[in-house]
Structure 1
Amino acid sequence: MSTDFDIVQMHREIYQYMRKKALSYEGGESKELTQYQRAQKKLSQRSFENSSQKELARAIDSSQIIYLGDFHTFDQSGRNLLRLLRPLVQSQTPLALGFEFINYEHQHHLEYYAEKTISELEFLDAINYHESWHFPWNHYRQILKIAQKHQLPMLALNSTGSLSERDQLAANTLYHFLLENPEAKLLIFFGELHIMPDRLPKQLQQLFTTKAPKSLIIHQNLDEVYWRQGREQGRKLVVKFNPQEYCLMTSPPWIKYESMIYWYENLCDDPEFDIHEYLVEKGLKTFNSNSNDNFLLVCQEILRALQLRSKITKEELENYNLYDHRKMTFILDKVKRLPQKNLINFYKKMLLTGKIFKVPFSHNLYCPNYSINRLSFLAGAHIFDLLTHNSTYCYEQQALSGSQVDKLSHFLNLNTLSYLSSKIINPFRKCDLYQDIISQIDSPQTNTTTKRHLQLAITILNGTSKTLPNNLKGFPLILLNRTAKTISHLLGDTLYEEFFRESPTKFQKIVELIITTPTPPNYPNLLITAILPNKDYQKNSKRFF
């Protein structure tokens, strides 16, 4: 019972943490956007009942206009569209698709692409995709490929202006298409806030002077539905508000917010980088749907880049268990069995805040939601553990039960190799550098706890701490790890940018330093001096582009 309570409470706290963090990136919201969000929350609080995929399929068959909500950063939204699209294509029903992610001014370019008059790259360039939409093209690419293959008409529905103005223009476009194609079934993929009954659907309905075509709204992964469904009715993939309005529940809500965080922190700046494209370039074709295979491929790439393949056997590399949020109960149980209370508290906190980590003294790896940076960071942690662990010696066990300096050194090594690994897989990855850390310390918005570990990080980076054990006294593991991560990301970034290609011999020596254990008492200064031999790093800040 207590475990169940832990999990429910933890799910709620993870959700709150992820949602708050995701929304913090959005900046100042317009009054209209706030109204849309409040309206969606209110609509989500209506009564609903459990439904089924068969009932939803019947509702789709009997409707002429179908709206599906898109959470733009979450690829699950597009995958669900593909699941709905494939049987419709096979049914031979006259079908057309409408998309928010293409501006109506580029309708002719969309038609050129559909007719294969222009290539995919020419199409993306013509519509200025990465500037006009920003969200990963890979989320939509397969949808357009299917439409192209089956010669389905496609409508570009986006425009500039207020939310309601954009709804109105989309409604006008859809209305005129239906007048010219009265037998066509329309599948419309639009932002989740726009498909509420009194927004785009209502504006389209009001344009018809005679009886409007029957419409169906399919929401996806609404927050309020998830929490009420779990509390009141048990988990179902499909719920129904009324015969014309359903909701697909294919993911817990914090996962979509994690995708939003990931987008802001990574893809927002580099929307063209994509894990599939990376592996195509490397001759590995593409990731399949098996995350363990994905992870193993990433591990192999990192080992190859680090020139460490001879140090780890194939059997050792494959000796891991990779778990996501669906196995949180299992991971929580493993964490509770750790031998020290401070370790239990630390890793429970890591679990709570959606962090990736290796469960100590095991081969269990936790990654709540898979992304390129997460997989590669965790791969680095797995590799580090293998390189510092053998049948007679476990560096991790010695470090985590040792002094504060031992713990800090362990976290420095672990996080430096892990961040370096993620940088190897995604060279566009950015992190806070020295001036960014200083700015955070000086910011009045930075809380006292955060300032404490940032100030310690700067002190250690500067080499001005003559009594490091005293500086670390009283620091809980969570702050030691945050301090180490702040330093390690900077070190890993510098190691990649300045040594990986430019000075391969020095690079290999530093990697050897990182994986050589146990560490001496002055190790933090040794590592920093090796990677940052002069003070030039103090001028650096995160690149704008």
Structure 2
Amino acid sequence: MRGPDAIERSHRKLFLALQKELRYLESAKASSIRAYERAFKRSLPARSTTTTKAALVSRAKGAEVILVGDFHPFRQSQKGFLRLLKEVRGRSARPSAIALECIQQEFQTHVDYYLQGLITAEELREETAFEDNWPFPWENYRELLEYAKAEKIPVVPLNIPGRGAPGELKARDEAAAQRIAEVAAESPKLQIFTLYGELHLAAPHLPASLRSRIKKRVLIVHQNETQLYWSAPRLKNGDRPEVLRLREDEYCVLNAVPWMKLRAFLDWAEGSQEDDWDDSSDINGPVAHFAALLAEALLLEAPALDRIETRGPDELEEGGVFARSDRPLFAHARKYHRVSYLPAAQAVVVPTLSTNALTEAAALHLWARHNGGAQSQLGARLILQFMAGFLGSKLLNPKRKCNEEADMEAYLARLPREKRALDAKGRIFQRALGILKPLLHGKRSTAAPLDGGREIEALRLAGFVLGNRLSVSLRRSKSAARITQELFTSTVADPKVAAKLLNRIGAEIRAQSVAPSGKESGF
């Protein structure tokens, strides 16, 4: 098992391979875009300092306009914007508005109709000619609109016609700044959260246009800027920080590794967004690439993918004939949309083609080399399977998160005690916490097994938490590295062998006393 530097070298290899694929597309960029990009890169400081999510949220609370960078084809950009919006709104009583580049200003009335419930989201999509005016995935932005509607937050379109015309980038900055200034003047108490293309957030671009019109405080939040990621100072555990402070009113959130951003752009440019994949053979290439890099980081032999099938979403929907022992796992994968390995069928099922799902599938290909053809079993063996899948995915994408103990406990704490027995998610969380109790705390579990798919989901949650904890231990302990190799190379068809390995992993994690942050704590 290689150390953190070697794992990051795998990330760089992925990044460089994708960058090479993108060179032709990059060469086709308009000169105006290349100039805008150069100005953007020059505007970023050479040095940054590590800060915290709490510090960024506190700073955002005091700003009147928050400009958040959007890498349009990368869904994490839109999700990061929404998380920041929710965090600030949860700590401030100020009214807010959402300003979006993805819709043109002329469609303000249609946006208002949608927010008032007079038209549906699909009707809004049609009325605004969304695909004609904005070539990036509608679904990436729909979630923002749905949140605004549910929370009664006004939405302000910012874009103007003329894409590709001479000087249009500057014209769009000026038009967006003017519209934001008008809204700020009309409603001085509003806090305006703006999602706008990352290149426009260079100091001389949109921020300068905006500051020339208003005296209000403007906060700039970049997301996943590649040059900032590679130059960011390391944390004590070897990870890159999640939040950087660049200047007094300029920050950068790092909630994804750079290669994932390029992968999203390449998929979009090639017309292979998640919804467009239609054949399992399409996904074998990226899965094989991920598996080879993961094997290199773990000092393992790269798996031959032809030994184990990879079944994509279409095949999962169509169903199939499976051995009796595989049917519960298949039903669980189908119902909960989870990546899983079916031992009797020797197949990895991938119900969603996100990058996290594909990296998880790659890890399961590695793990299954020593566990193919065995009978499907609940208990320790299945926990190890899910642990290996998450751990491998986490090594390739160290920013990946899962529901940690604290997340599950917080969810249960919010439930009235009398409803816990009736809440399906709560019961699964209780069971998962019970499974983890002896492994993470050396205490006896009193949680009774659930039935069918709910038990498998609880085992998956427990496996993910253990994989998350082991990923942190890897940066601290050589013994954790050795036991990680055992996880991927041991045959655990025998329940006693599986239980013994699982208990040893639990002891290793307890010795390191690690409790990583969960989903609720980050961006």
TM-score range, shorter chain: 0.5 to 0.7
1:137 corresponds to 2:138: yes
Cα displacement (A) at 1:155: 0.9
Q: Structure 1: which amino acid aligns with 2:120?
A: S
Cα displacement (A) at 1:258: 0.6
1-structure distance, mates of 2:156, 2:329: 52
Q: Structure 2: which amino acid aligns with 1:191?
A: G
Which of residues 335, 345, 354 in structure 2 aligns to 1:371? 354
Cα displacement (A) at 1:2: 6.0
Q: Does the 8 Å CA contact 1:136/1:267 hold for their aligned counterparts?
A: no
Cα displacement (A) at 1:41: 2.2
Cα displacement (A) at 1:309: 2.5
Q: How does 1:80-479 map to 2 (within 5 A)?
A: 80-90=80-90, 91-159=92-160, 160=162, 161=165, 162-208=168-214, 212-229=215-232, 235-267=240-272, 302=315, 305=318, 307-310=320-323, 313-314=326-327, 370-371=353-354, 375=358, 390=373
1-structure distance, mates of 2:141, 2:3: 40
2-structure distance, mates of 1:19, 1:101: 26
Once the two structures are aligned, what percentage of the paired residues are identical? 26
3-state DSSP of counterpart to 1:186? strand
1-structure distance, mates of 2:374, 2:86: 52
Cα displacement (A) at 1:174: 1.1
My pick for the range that moved more, 1-10 or 43-52, is 1-10
3-state DSSP of counterpart to 2:36? helix
Q: Does the 8 Å CA contact 1:97/1:155 hold for their aligned counterparts?
A: yes
Q: Structure 2: which amino acid aligns with 1:130?
A: E
1-structure distance, mates of 2:26, 2:139: 22
Q: Rg: which structure is higher?
A: 1
Q: Does the 8 Å CA contact 1:71/1:77 hold for their aligned counterparts?
A: yes
Cα displacement (A) at 1:95: 1.0
TM-score where L is the length of structure 1: 0.52
Cα displacement (A) at 1:310: 4.4
1-structure distance, mates of 2:177, 2:79: 25
Q: Does the 8 Å CA contact 1:130/1:272 hold for their aligned counterparts?
A: no
My pick for the range that moved more, 52-61 or 84-93, is 84-93
2-structure distance, mates of 1:204, 1:197: 10
Q: Does the 8 Å CA contact 1:89/1:150 hold for their aligned counterparts?
A: no
Q: Structure 2: which amino acid aligns with 1:201?
A: P
2-structure distance, mates of 1:106, 1:298: 42
Q: Does the 8 Å CA contact 1:48/1:240 hold for their aligned counterparts?
A: yes
| Residues 302-342 of structure 1: per-residue CA shift (max 9 Å, x gap) | 2663633348723676999xxxxxxxxxxxxxxxxxxxxxx
Q: Does the 8 Å CA contact 1:69/1:192 hold for their aligned counterparts?
A: yes
**Which of structures 1 and 2 has the larger relative contact order (alpha carbons within 8 angstroms, sep 6+)?**
2
2-structure distance, mates of 1:304, 1:312: 19
| Residues 340-397 of structure 1: per-residue CA shift (max 9 Å, x gap) | xxxxxxxxxxxxxxxx9x9xxxx89799x95289759959x97xx89x96469xxxxx
Aligned to 1:426: none
Aligned to 2:417: none
1-structure distance, mates of 2:201, 2:209: 10
Unpaired segments of 5 or more residues in structure 1? 276-295, 321-355, 393-545
Cα displacement (A) at 1:198: 1.5
Unpaired segments of 5 or more residues in structure 2? 279-308, 334-338, 376-523
Q: Structure 1: which amino acid aligns with 2:61?
A: D
1-structure distance, mates of 2:317, 2:328: 16
Q: Identify if the C-alpha distance between structure 1 residues 70 and 59 changes in structure 2 by more than 3 Å, giving closer, same or farther.
A: same
The number of residue pairs the alignment matches comes to 325
Aligned to 1:32: 32
Cα displacement (A) at 1:19: 2.6
| Residues 156-213 of structure 1: per-residue CA shift (max 9 Å, x gap) | 11122421111111111111222212221111000111112221011011124xxx10
Q: Structure 2: which amino acid aligns with 1:206?
A: S
| Residues 421-448 of structure 1: per-residue CA shift (max 9 Å, x gap) | xxxxxxxxxxxxxxxxxxxxxxxxxxxx
Cα displacement (A) at 1:21: 2.1
| Residues 84-115 of structure 1: per-residue CA shift (max 9 Å, x gap) | 22244443312111100001121111111111
Aligned to 1:59: 59
Q: Identify if the C-alpha distance between structure 1 residues 183 and 306 changes in structure 2 by more than 3 Å, giving closer, same or farther.
A: closer
1-structure distance, mates of 2:373, 2:151: 56
Q: Identify if the C-alpha distance between structure 1 residues 316 and 101 changes in structure 2 by more than 3 Å, giving closer, same or farther.
A: closer
2-structure distance, mates of 1:248, 1:83: 11
Q: Identify if the C-alpha distance between structure 1 residues 390 and 222 changes in structure 2 by more than 3 Å, giving closer, same or farther.
A: closer
Q: Does the 8 Å CA contact 1:223/1:253 hold for their aligned counterparts?
A: yes
| Residues 60-91 of structure 1: per-residue CA shift (max 9 Å, x gap) | 11110100001111111111111122244443
Q: Does the 8 Å CA contact 1:229/1:235 hold for their aligned counterparts?
A: yes
Q: Does the 8 Å CA contact 2:99/2:194 hold for their aligned counterparts?
A: yes
Q: Does the 8 Å CA contact 1:101/1:156 hold for their aligned counterparts?
A: yes
| Residues 230-280 of structure 1: per-residue CA shift (max 9 Å, x gap) | 569852111101110000011111101111112223356xx97699xxxxx
2-structure distance, mates of 1:377, 1:10: 16
Q: Structure 2: which amino acid aligns with 1:216?
A: L
Q: Does the 8 Å CA contact 1:197/1:217 hold for their aligned counterparts?
A: no
1-structure distance, mates of 2:170, 2:60: 26
Aligned to 1:71: 71
Q: Does the 8 Å CA contact 2:102/2:134 hold for their aligned counterparts?
A: yes
Aligned to 2:484: none
Q: Structure 2: which amino acid aligns with 1:116?
A: G
Q: Identify if the C-alpha distance between structure 1 residues 227 and 370 changes in structure 2 by more than 3 Å, giving closer, same or farther.
A: farther
Cα displacement (A) at 1:51: 0.8
2-structure distance, mates of 1:311, 1:130: 45
1-structure distance, mates of 2:137, 2:110: 19
Q: Structure 2: which amino acid aligns with 1:67?
A: L
Q: Does the 8 Å CA contact 2:233/2:240 hold for their aligned counterparts?
A: yes
| Residues 41-72 of structure 1: per-residue CA shift (max 9 Å, x gap) | 22334211111111111111111010000111
1-structure distance, mates of 2:25, 2:184: 39
2-structure distance, mates of 1:391, 1:60: 53
Q: Identify if the C-alpha distance between structure 1 residues 149 and 366 changes in structure 2 by more than 3 Å, giving closer, same or farther.
A: closer
> What is the RMSD of the two structures over their aligned residues, measured on CA atoms?
4.1
Q: Does the 8 Å CA contact 2:50/2:233 hold for their aligned counterparts?
A: no
1-structure distance, mates of 2:129, 2:256: 31
